[in-house]
Amino acid sequence: LIDAIFPNYKQVVPTHHTCKVEIDRERFSGALRRISNFTNTQTNQIKLTLDKVDGTNRMTIGAQDLDMNSEGYETFEVHSDNFPTAMNIGFNVKMLMAAVDSYATETVALLMTDPNKAAIIKHETDSDDFVLIMPVVLN
């Protein structure tokens, strides 16, 4: 038994979302692994860019390491009912990969409200299970 005062975690769990993106889990996981090779080894920062081109909802995963002069990007189509006009959000790629890989489903849903607020990853069913992932400030 740990006798301590813990923060109220319910304060950071979003109660609603403005953007729900459904992504093929294996494709998303593979893209994260490939792009992770281009992250800075100290920050492990990646940027997810959501945009719409010719009526197609797209997600671009990108990383840049200025110290090693390397960068990598991968873009693919995603499904969404309430896709934003455009959004950039940063994550620690290791944390995001762990969250995505924690499910064994065909698709995962990424639920977001704002680039500065926590995001939720859920599997394809309407289960109460979710993984909360905090964004990072983009450089």
Token pair, residue 57, equals: 């909802």
The predicted pLDDT at position 88 comes to 93
Region 44-59: mean pLDDT is: 91
| 46 to 10, 71, 104: CA distances (angstroms) | 26, 10, 23
The predicted pLDDT at position 97 comes to 95
Other beta carbons within 10 angstroms of residue 91's beta carbon come to 23
Phi, psi of 98 (to 5 degrees): -60, -40
**What confidence tens digit (pLDDT) does each residue in 66-110 have?**
888 889 999 999 988 888 778 999 999 999 999 999 998 999 999
